[in-house]
Amino acid sequence: LPPERYLTIHQATDRSLYHNPKINSSNYIVIPELQKIFSKDIEEIIKNLTEGVDSTYTRTNSKRNGVDTFKIDKKPILYSFAITNKHLKERDDEFYRRFIIFHTDISREQNKKVALSFAERELQPETKVENYSAWQGHISACLDSTAEIKNPFLPHIIESLPPEISEQVRFRSSVKYLHQLICGATLFNSVADKINQKYLFSELSDNLKVTELYEQVLIDNLYGLSVIDRALLDLLGNEPTHIEAVKQRFGEIYATAIPIEDSLSKLTANGLVGKEGDEYRLRIVPKITFNPEQALDAADKFMQLHYPKYRDQWHEQCLKQTETHAE
């Protein structure tokens, strides 16, 4: 993101946020370590902003004859949270469902890869990234775009989702997030001369790529899974495994100091993991699946009905993507 569009907050109180002169001139708030500023008051501010409403604070003025009002305009927030922090373990579900939560890979193998990458990068001479200014310019143009983005595939995707997904409490907000991600992909993949057209239409490739990338995130958000819960899901197989063997395998891949009993209980309660005595096994985890040809047929009906003027060019592009996907 262009630096002038976001405000980075390392430490703050709720009052300092309201009085920050830059907070309403920025489009985004970036909080590198949320646990450093997390308090109940700041949690409520974040809930308001990420719900899509302004957050306000009022106080009696110095003359005690009126009220001063301070406001933070609604805006997206990007943050990171340490998995060892108590607020992540004891999070407020209302707070949690306001975000798309992306988990880091906490395995020992990944830790080593990150450390090796750092070591190798330190040895290399400094190089200039080619076309970086063009990249920044494209991002800036996308953020300034006035185009309306339409996704004719979305109704078919929703209808194709299994009941295990659609019956979850967070389903509606998760669908909205999925829609926003696909629209973002559509905008980002648009060429420069189309970014500010009246309409941009999501194509088959936008939907296929985003649903594939977002599938695990969607499942984790719907069920409120933590990074530990996800690690266990990826570890368990269809064959029953004794809890001691699960602990041993988890310790080999991740860290033996991380307790897993609460996660196993949560996964079992959600029906994602089956329990028989002291043995656990993976049950059927919901998937996002849809047939590209059927999806295109369904989306095409919407385009013919609502946007016939734009249908032919859009359909031609999607047909090419269907053929590429089949190959």
CA gap 214, 189 in Å, rounded: 17
- Tokens 């190798």 locate to 120
> Is 263:247 a contact under the CB 8 Å cutoff?
no
The string of DSSP codes covering 290-308 is: --HHHHHHHHHHHHHHH-H
Model pLDDT, residue 96: 74
Q: What is the DSSP letter of 202?
A: -
- Dihedral angle over CA of 169, 161, 100, 15, nearest 10: -30
Q: Tell me how crowded residue 4 is: count the other CB atoms within 10 A of its CB.
A: 10
- Tokens 């009052």 locate to 15
Q: Report the side by side order of strands in the sheet with 273-276.
A: 241-242, 279-282, 273-276
Residue 265, helix vs strand vs coil: helix
Nearest CA among 305, 220, 297, 304 for reference residue 263: 220
Model pLDDT, residue 129: 67
Q: What is the pLDDT of residues 148-189, one digit of tens each?
A: 999 999 999 999 999 988 888 888 888 888 999 999 999 999
**Taking the CA atoms of the chain, what radius of gyration do you get in angstroms?**
23
Q: What is the DSSP letter of 4?
A: G
Question: What's the whole-model pTM score?
Answer: 0.83
Model pLDDT, residue 40: 86
Model pLDDT, residue 88: 62
CA gap 205, 215 in Å, rounded: 15
Residue 56, helix vs strand vs coil: strand
Tell me whether strands 6-8 and 77-79 are parallel, antiparallel or unpaired.
unpaired
Per-residue pLDDT of the chain (327 residues; tens, 9 = 90+): 888 899 999 999 999 999 999 999 999 999 998 888 888 899 899 989 988 889 999 988 888 888 989 999 999 999 988 777 766 666 677 777 788 888 888 899 999 999 999 999 888 887 766 777 888 889 889 988 999 999 999 999 999 999 988 888 888 888 888 999 999 999 999 988 888 899 999 999 999 999 999 899 888 988 888 888 999 999 999 999 999 999 999 999 987 778 899 999 999 999 999 999 999 999 988 888 888 999 999 999 999 999 999 999 999 999 999 887 766
